[in-house]
């Protein structure tokens, strides 16, 4: 899977302690919020 983001977003993500885990948590949070809106 590819993720499209701006250069500034990429730079900020890469500054995180664990960039892959940061992305996983952000995606999970968005999915949980979306699921909450649908109920």
Q: What's the whole-model pTM score?
A: 0.81
Residue 32 phi, psi (nearest 5): -65, -40
DSSP reduced 3-state for 34 = helix
DSSP reduced 3-state for 1 = coil
Reduced 3-state DSSP string for 5-28: CCHHHHHHHHCCCCHHHHHHHHHH
Provide the pLDDT for residue 27.
97
Provide the pLDDT for residue 39.
73
Q: 33 or 39: which carries more pLDDT confidence?
A: 33
Provide the pLDDT for residue 38.
83
pLDDT tens-digit series, residues 10-33 = 999 999 999 999 999 999 999 999
């Amino acid at each position: 899977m590819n993720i499209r983001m701006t250069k500034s977003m990429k730079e900020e993500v890469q500054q995180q302690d664990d960039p892959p885990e940061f992305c996983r948590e952000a995606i999970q949070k968005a999915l949980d919020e979306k699921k909450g809106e649908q109920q």
